[in-house]
Amino acid sequence: MSSMEQLQEQLGYHFRDPQLLRQALTHRSAGGQHNERLEFLGDAALNFVAAAQLFSRFPKVSEGDLSRMRARLVREETLAEIAGQIDLADVLILGPGEQRSGGARRHSIRADALEAVLGAAFLDGGFAAAEGIVSRLLESLMTEHLGGEELRDPKTRLQEYLQGRGRALPIYELVEEKGQAHERRFVTRCVVSGAEETQAEDNSRRKAEQQAAALMLAQLQGDAQGAAGHG
């Protein structure tokens, strides 16, 4: 069985037009017809199907928590993990430069390709095709724990933690930008009065701030537990 056939087995859907699937797996670095427009379509289908299924499965969950649950399901890290489970990297079509730099391992490329596959399935077999794939891939992730506290992003949790103790809100500062234009890295710091600042680095400023906030929250909670232990 070829890698393309194996992928379709994993998806639970077989394309009537194999060229659509091929396009969905083609990164723009490879030239020709690539997957960016299909990714746009697949992203919309993914968000809708995930929202509809969460709405149906969790009738008592609030709108805010449903939004956080959906965000957890459709975020880049989750999609890249799913792409890894179905061996999507084995069939990605990349340009020589991306191949040499290990592009198949990049979360963004894997996640984008998975969304493009959903878009291609929508064109190939209609909404039911895209819905079937999403249901199959996300089934194991749609559990009660998705509504838990961990879904609140670190910046929100840090803000709530400080507000609950009457403390000043955190300040986020960009420390440094580095790297080439297509591979920018951002170093940010999180500053809270009365605490040691934390720093983090990532390929987006938002993610770096989230990580710095998570470090700060862990630091503050650790200090509080230490104080309680000595009390």
* pLDDT at position 50: 94
* Active-site residue (options: 39, 98, 112, 115): 115
Q: How far apart are the first and last CA of the chain?
A: 65
pLDDT, one tens digit for every residue, the chain (231 residues): 588 999 999 999 999 999 999 999 999 998 889 999 999 999 999 999 999 999 998 888 888 888 888 988 898 888 998 998 888 988 999 998 888 888 778 889 999 999 999 999 999 999 999 999 999 998 888 875 565 555 567 888 888 889 989 999 999 999 999 988 778 899 999 999 988 999 999 988 888 999 999 999 999 988 766 666 655
Using alpha carbons, select from 109, 88, 85, 107 the residue that is nearest to residue 98.
109
Largest CA distance in the chain: 69
pTM attached to this predicted model = 0.64
* pLDDT at position 97: 86
DSSP state of 45: H
State how far Cα 146 lies from the chain centre. 14
User: In whole angstroms, what is the distance from residue 117 CA to residue 80 CA?
Assistant: 13
Coil, strand or helix at 204: coil
Q: Is there a catalytic annotation at residue 115?
A: yes
Domain boundaries, the chain: 3-150, 154-229
Query: What dotted CATH number matches 154-229?
Result: 3.30.160.20
Q: Is there a catalytic annotation at residue 5?
A: no
* Active-site residue (options: 43, 124, 131, 209): 43
- Domain 3-150 falls under CATH 1.10.1520.10: yes
* pLDDT at position 146: 63
Coil, strand or helix at 177: strand
- Report in angstroms the alpha-carbon separations of 56 from 5, 13, 59, 118, 213: 32, 23, 6, 21, 33
* pLDDT at position 156: 81
